[in-house]
Amino acid sequence: MLTDDVIRFYRATGNFGFLSNLFKREIVFEGKTFPTNEHAYQYGKPKDIEVAEWIMKAPKPHLVALISHSLFFYDMKPEWNKIKVERMKAILRAKFTQHEDLKERLLQTGSKILIENSKMDAFWGIGKNGKGKNILGKLLMEIRSEFLSNSVE
């Protein structure tokens, strides 16, 4: 695979920072307004609404993620691992349908492979050995394909 065929993103800055879940752009999801995709995603993780609301008070998006990753299994919704990918996909769809400029930027990535260049996360990103699942990148490419086939407006 040529490096010209790949877009690597991680931080919420730079040309492709808009692909990051930490990118600061409000979205409305499940009737609630969130400052970032990360907030919307992590809000769905705790089983108790009080815990979810407490997590949302973190002063920065990466701290929302950090706090959520620290939850004990008994503080999480029991079905979390079964629903987390579909939740992320729905959140990404909301982000790119609610912000036309971001949708255009996503479409401008063409047919390039999108890789979340996280060395710490082998599920959403590529992990420290570069062989992670890259689920976030794959979901972004799926959303892009949906837009290109006009199945999502």
Q: What is the pLDDT of residue 4?
A: 82
Q: What predicted TM-score, i.e. pTM, was given to this entire model? A: 0.93
Residue 35 falls within a domain, yes or no? Answer: yes
Q: What is the CATH number of the domain that holds 103?
A: 1.10.357.40
Residue 153 falls within a domain, yes or no? Answer: no
CB 20 within 8 A of CB 141: no
Residue 104 falls within a domain, yes or no? Answer: yes
Question: Phi and psi for 45 in degrees, rounded to 5?
Answer: -80, -45
Residues 6+ apart with CB under 8 A from 12: 18, 20, 22, 23, 24, 61
Strand, helix or coil for residue 25: coil
Residue 87 falls within a domain, yes or no? Answer: yes
Helix (H) or strand (E) holding 32: strand 32-34
pLDDT tens for each residue of 105-118: 999 999 999 999 99
pLDDT tens for each residue of 110-144: 999 999 999 999 999 999 999 999 999 999 999 99
- Boundaries of domain holding 115: 3-148
> Residue 151: which pLDDT band, with cuts at 50, 70 and 90?
low
Count of the separate structural domains present in the chain: 1
